Amino acid sequence: MRQAMIVWGGWDGHQPEQCAAIVRDMLEAEGFAVRVETTTAAFADPAVRDLSLVVPIYTMSKIEKEEALSLSAAVRDGVGLAGFHGGMCDAFRDNVDYQFMTGGQWVAHPGNVIDYHVDVSKPDDPVMSGIGRFAYRSEQYYMHVDPSNEVLATTTFSGEHAAWIEGVVMPVVWKRRHGNGRVFYSSLGHQAKEFDVPEMRTIVRRGMVWAARAA
């Protein structure tokens, strides 16, 4: 049985505990044994290297350098990493080792919670299969992103809330490699209720399964 670890905490506005419970149920339904932790110290546990998947749900906050390096080393050795929204890519803002691994960092969400669209870039990818362009209401993440990411979906900024970014096409969903490990990210998922959106839930579920190391 594949082993997964969820580590939740940080800013409570993203409802990390509620989201962790949803993700745990999703992974268990996919046949994973799931360990749930609530401190970044879990990333430094040597047992992390034996996992198939790590899911951080830990907005902002701090991570100790040795914790970040331990997680990065585990992923380079083949452990999968998957996450969503600020729980993965607005975490540990002062740690570049972590950001190098995840492939992106949140910097703004003009207008806060707004209506926008998600456009599928790679409809033939298994994560996006059967999913077309869809409307979404959430924070529209403006991010600094790694050019090596394999982008699966994007969003386009209208400029209504920040005129100077009108027309900017921003990655929403991506895959990448970090050493031998697979990394998956979706910027959707501001709060737990967004898992009620079928497209969002499907993308996260498939992305986690894709990222996980085989048993």
Domains of the chain: 3-211 (3.40.50.880)
Predicted confidence (pLDDT) at residue 215 exceeds the cutoff of 80: no
pTM over 0.75: yes
Residue 129 dihedral angles phi and psi, to the nearest 5°: -55, 130
Predicted confidence (pLDDT) at residue 44 exceeds the cutoff of 90: yes
* Rg value, the chain, Cα: 16
d(CA 213, CA 113) in angstroms, rounded, equals 34
> Would you state the pLDDT for residue 27?
98
Tell me the C-alpha to C-alpha distance, in Å, between residue 38 and each of 2, 55, 60, 130. Answer: 21, 12, 14, 35
CB 37 within 8 A of CB 7: yes
d(CA 54, CA 172) in angstroms, rounded, equals 20
Q: What tokens does 28 get? A: 């268990």
Helix H or strand E segment including 148: none
The tens digit of pLDDT for each residue in 78-118 reads 999 999 999 999 999 999 999 999 999 999 999 999 999 99
